[in-house]
Amino acid sequence: MKIAMLSPIAWRTPPLGYGPWERVVSLLTEGLAVRGIDVTLFATADSVTQAKLHAIAPMPYEKDKNLDPKVWECLHIAELFERAGNFDLIHNHFDFLPLTYSGLTDTPVLTTIHGFSSPKILPVYRKYNRKTHYVSISNADRSPELDYIDTIYHGIDLENFAFQETPDDYLLFFGRIHHDKGAAEAIQIARQAGMKLILAGVIQDIDYYKSVVEPHLDGVRVRYAGVAGPEMRNKLLGGARALLHPINFNEPFGLSVVEAGACGTPVVAYNRGSMPEIIENGANGFLVGNVNSAVEAVGSLDAISRRKCRKIVQDRFSRARMVDNYISVYHKIIDKKD
């Protein structure tokens, strides 16, 4: 079985900091390589993998602003599809654009839909529905207009997340600094709960940051720790009493929620999108509806077993489970073609 894995090129694979899609691609690619599957990763030239690496983009366009994203995205996708005949299956993690190349090859294309940025992109998915194959990353993120071969939850590398039985005395917000992720709400929750808050993540909306986050930063009660790489991520997640996830959109999955659980840290999240599929209310966190109910949940954190949080991730969100599920889908597609 020869698989072509198409990663985004906004960041390297795996990312050094932010880059959730690239991180999932890396976890899957390395898991497949360990199983002895012949995988070629199409990613940026600075990417790191045990599989074969094929690159046309010299580095991520978010790192080098001289690189025009559209130009290098087109070159990157074309580089794979011009070699499509060398593979049994193309696994696309690049959103909708590669689908427009899929009719030019007999090699089957599987797309993991990491989320819909807007309903405006649905016409592309509709056009190639049933001509290609779609995997959703949660049942909540499925479009009723599309057919899916499976739902496969993201898995994480548990060995890189240390379990911490006794946390420190702070709450954590870990994600994009953007209205969608609810950084402002996290600050309100922490203040009303009388607890310290650390925020970490890429500032995606600078105006939002300056208007509703920066004025509250005092370095003591509310602190911004910057974009956290793997080592800092592990430390921050493990040390938190809880991860606050007061999202203002229907999140397709939420890697940080699973990563927190791997460290033993419960999550207090707004009950939207995929959150009910990841959080077992009262077992590894709390599903809430607003700031006030989130504050009540923070007051009930002692009822949550941190070992139970870790166990749920081990059972449901391991990389091994994700790899197994994708291999099953690959066989289903390739065997059907034959």
Strands across the sheet containing 133-136:
52-54, 38-42, 2-6, 89-92, 109-113, 133-136, 150-151
Q: 209-231: string of b/e by CB count within 10 Å (b at 16+)? A: beebbeebeeeeebbbbeebeee
Q: What is the pLDDT along the chain (338 residues), one digit of tens a residue?
A: 999 999 999 999 999 878 889 999 999 999 999 999 999 999 999 999 999 999 999 999 999 999 999 999 999 999 999 999 999 999 999 999 999 999 999 999 999 999 998 889 999 999 999 999 999 999 999 999 999 999 999 999 999 999 999 999 999 999 999 999 999 999 999 999 999 999 999 999 999 999 999 999 999 999 999 988 888 999 999 999 999 999 999 999 999 999 999 999 999 999 999 999 999 999 999 999 999 999 999 999 999 999 999 999 999 999 999 999 999 999 999 987 65
pLDDT in tens, 35-46: 999 999 999 999
CA distance 2 to 208: 45
Domains, the chain: 2-155+318-337 (3.40.50.2000), 158-316 (3.40.50.2000)
Contact 43, 106 (CB under 8 A): no
Q: Which of 153, 119, 161 is nearest to 136 (CA)?
A: 153
